[in-house]
Each structure stands twice: as structure tokens, then as C-alpha cells.
Amino acid sequence: AQSVTQLGSHVSVSEGALVLLRCNYSSSVPPYLFWYVQYPNQGLQLLLKYTTGATLVKGINGFEAEFKKSETSFHLTKPSAHMSDAAEYFCAVIRAGSSASKIIFGSGTRLSIRP
């Protein structure tokens, strides 16, 4: 079975500082991993995904994540935070080849940006 743990329900950084949102997963088979962002009163928007191949994945809005199998991690980073990055971020895992019903979401991390 798959599971996802997002460390820190709330992260606060200063504008221009590094953003690091942590995600650890558990999967007995090769996983596909996703990061979604949810702005207030909106649905979930895909930031980036890892399926196979290059372990460093670049997404939209300057975000990237690195798949580290040895650490079972898929942390999300952005070199310089912007006020518009304030939102809730969800890490998700799905077993390769599984249907959408099997996607497992983390509990979310709310990112706040200090001016």
C-alpha cells in the first residue's frame, strides 16, 4: 500500500527566501509522485510530477522536486519565494499503472510568505 507524509502542516518563509516543503512516501512498488497547489477558493493545480526518468523534476512557477528513492522523499523547493506562492500544497503518490481512484494525498502544507 502507498502512503504519503507531509512534514509540517504550516511553513512560513520570507519573501525571497528558499521554499522547502517536505514529502516522504511509502510504496512497495515504483510510485508516481505529484505535487499539487491549491490557492484559496480554488481547485488543485498540478505543479509537477515524477513518473520515470530524470529524478529532478521541474514544474511551473519556478518549483522543482527531486525524487530520492533511497530516502523515499520527494521534497518540493523553490529558490526564491514570492508572495503569490502563498497557498496549500499537496504531495500525492500513486502506484504506476493504477487508476485515479488509488491516488493517495498527503494532508497538505500551508505555505505563508512574510513580506
Partner 1 sequence: KAGVTQTPRYLIKTRGQQVTLSCSPISGHRSVSWYQQTPGQGLQFLFEYFSETQRNKGNFPGRFSGRQFSNSRSEMNVSTLELGDSALYLCASSPGPEGTGNTIYFGEGSWLTVV
Is residue 103 at the binding interface for partner 1, with CB under 8 A as the rule? Answer: yes
CA distances for 44 relative to 25, 32, 36, 108, angstroms: 20, 17, 6, 11
Give me the least distance between CB of 29 and partner 1, in Å please.
Answer: 12
Is residue 46 at the binding interface for partner 1, with CB under 8 A as the rule? Answer: yes
Whichever of 37 and 113 has its CB closer to partner 1, that residue is 37
Task: Candidates 5, 44, 62, 86: give the one binding partner 1 (CB under 8 A).
Answer: 44
- Strand positions, DSSP E, 1-115: 3-7, 10-14, 19-26, 31-38, 44-50, 56-58, 64-68, 73-78, 87-95, 104-105, 109-114
List contacts with partner 1 (CB under 8 A).
32, 34, 36, 41-46, 49, 51-52, 90, 94, 96-103, 105, 107-108
